[in-house]
Amino acid sequence: MLRPIPGLAWVPFAILWFGIDQTAAVFIIAIGCFWIVFFAAQGAIRGVDRDLIEVAEAFGFHSGPEKLVKVLFPAALPGILIGIRTALGQAWMAVVASELFGISGLGQRMQQASSLLATDLVVVYMLTMAALYGLVDTAFVFLQSRLLAWKA
Amino acid sequence: MESVIDIEGLGIAFDQGGVRTEVLRGLDLKIAPGEFVAIVGPSGVGKSTLLRVLIGLAKPSSGTVRLNPDVNAERAMALVFQDSRLLPWRRILSNVCFGLEKAHLSRPERRERALAALAGVGLRDVARRFPHQLSGGQRQRVALARALAVRPAILLMDEPFSALDVQTREGLQDELIRVQKASGQTVLFVTHDIDEAVYLADRVVALGGRPGEVKISLTIDVPHPRRRDDLHLRNLSARIRDVLFAETVVREDWVI
């Protein structure tokens, strides 16, 4: 139900709850990413092969937490990681929104340059953001390939 | 000697869309320690469902299953599925350890036990690989090792070789016999292949009809190692075939 609400709409609440603080910015970014990860994880868990869950049961793992740790989570991990990777891109987009109200950072500077029509600066910030995203994404893909080494 | 398991009057039924379907009715089965019992019968007769009930994946609708408490085993049962069902994210050794993680064993103890089980099926050298790097026959041997590692009172096998090519299947049948004779493991083996059942088992129980009932129970009194073309075995196969196929209604009003 909360999914279609844009990150910007949360700005006043973030200020109310956390003040003009980094935490407020983190909150807005988190809200922007949450549903992507949530639905990816939900879909991945639902898609886990019933047969593998049966294997856990056949070997005596009957409780929910046991099945989660032994089968559901590792089997769903590829899908969950795809959600997290998508959310990483979304998080960088949310940075600008979250720094609209006076929290210093890349987003705020970009906003200022934009309002002064300093397009050259805007381009620099755009490139910076793209480069940072590229770095984070590359690191993530590396981590992903380590975690999913078992995939054919 | 007292039996390892005593199944009495076991019935299995399901509710499917409000319709009650009886799968199995009044099954009595006793298995002696070290005995290899094979259950044969056509598809849908409730063979696999019986194993699912025994391992606890489904509930019986009537009857009792009593395990002999005196039997020296760590777990009541372990199941080898038709498809190996190894966990693809675990290495082979870790897959064999899987069932042991329920037991109170230290990590090195589990590792050692799993390595021994892998060595038992001749696959010690693939311990570090992932399941997708193995052939179908190798994967099924790993599944066998995984089940044996937990030291079950009864090893349940659900058509474990039916998805393999003939050559691999025959190799694995001989390997199973070797492992079973060496360890004295009690086995309940389900298959639709009558020849396979007769070749492997000490006793063959044939199920037929709807709901499934025991049609014939035959002791296979041929010592191992057996020959696949043994005449006596063939005769026994033929007897089971006759009993099972006798109830197939032959329509004689066909015009060709």
Distance from CA of A74 to the nearest CA of B (A): 7
Tell me what percent of the residues of chain B surpass a pLDDT of 90: 77
Residue B82, both tokens = 């038709």
Q: Which residues of B touch A74 (CB under 8 A)?
A: 87, 89-90
Residue B250, both tokens = 């032959």
What is chain B's mean pLDDT, rounded? 91
Nearest CA in chain A to B54: A58
Q: What is the pTM of this model?
A: 0.87
pLDDT at B1 exceeding the cut of 80: no
Residue A98 banded pLDDT, cuts 50, 70, 90: confident
Tell me what percent of the residues of chain B surpass a pLDDT of 70: 96
What is chain A's mean pLDDT, rounded? 90
Nearest CA in chain A to B92: A150
Coil, strand or helix: which one is B247?
Answer: coil
Of B57, B91, B150, the CB nearest to A57: B57
DSSP B55-96: HTSS--SEEEEEE-TTS--SEEEEEE-SS----TTS-HHHHH
Residue A22, both tokens = 């980094």
Q: What does the alpha-carbon distance between residue A71 and residue A74 come to, in Å, rounded to a whole number?
A: 6
Percentages helix, strand, coil for chain A, rounded to the nearest 5?
80, 0, 20
Coil, strand or helix: which one is B188?
Answer: strand
Nearest CA in chain B to A57: B57
Q: Do A55 and B83 touch (CB under 8 A)?
A: no
Q: Are strands B152-158 and B62-67 parallel, antiparallel or unpaired?
A: unpaired
pLDDT, one tens digit per residue, over B34-68 is: 999 999 999 888 899 999 999 999 999 999 999 88
pLDDT at B250 exceeding the cut of 70: no
Distance from CA of A152 to the nearest CA of B (A): 7
Please report the pLDDT score of residue A11 as a whole number. Answer: 84
pLDDT, one tens digit per residue, over B93-131 is: 999 999 999 888 999 999 999 999 999 999 999 999 999
Residue B21 banded pLDDT, cuts 50, 70, 90: confident
Of A52, A148, A150, the CB nearest to B85: A52
Least confident among B3-7, B70-74, B134-138, B203-207: B70-74
Of A60, A149, A150, the CB nearest to B102: A60
* Mean pLDDT for the stretch of residues A30-50: 94
Partners of B233 in beta bridges? none
| Domains identified in chain B and CATH numbers | 29-60+67-73+153-248 (3.40.50.300), 83-150 (no CATH)
Residue A34, both tokens = 């949450």
Partners of A122 in beta bridges? none
Please report the pLDDT score of residue B19 as a whole number. Answer: 87
* Mean pLDDT for the stretch of residues B217-223: 93
Please report the pLDDT score of residue B73 as a whole number. Answer: 80
pLDDT at A96 exceeding the cut of 80: no
| Domains identified in chain A and CATH numbers | 7-147 (1.10.3720.10)
Q: Which residues of B touch A57 (CB under 8 A)?
A: 56-57
pLDDT at B144 exceeding the cut of 90: yes
pLDDT at A132 exceeding the cut of 60: yes
Q: What does the alpha-carbon distance between residue B92 and residue A122 come to, in Å, rounded to a whole number?
A: 53
Coil, strand or helix: which one is A66?
Answer: helix
Q: What does the alpha-carbon distance between residue A95 and residue A93 come to, in Å, rounded to a whole number?
A: 5
Please report the pLDDT score of residue B45 as a whole number. Answer: 87
pLDDT, one tens digit per residue, over B155-168 is: 999 999 999 999 99
Distance from CA of A146 to the nearest CA of B (A): 12
Nearest CA in chain A to B97: A59
Please report the pLDDT score of residue B249 as a whole number. Answer: 55
* Mean pLDDT for the stretch of residues B76-81: 95
pLDDT at A97 exceeding the cut of 90: no
Residue pairs between chains A and B whose CB atoms are closer than 8 Å? 50
E strand segments, chain B: 5-16, 19-31, 36-40, 62-67, 75-80, 152-158, 186-191, 203-208, 213-219
Whose tokens are 């937490």? That residue is A65
> How distant, in Å, are the alpha carbons of B65, B163, B177 from that of B172?
30, 12, 9
pLDDT, one tens digit per residue, over B173-205 is: 999 999 999 999 999 999 999 999 999 999 999
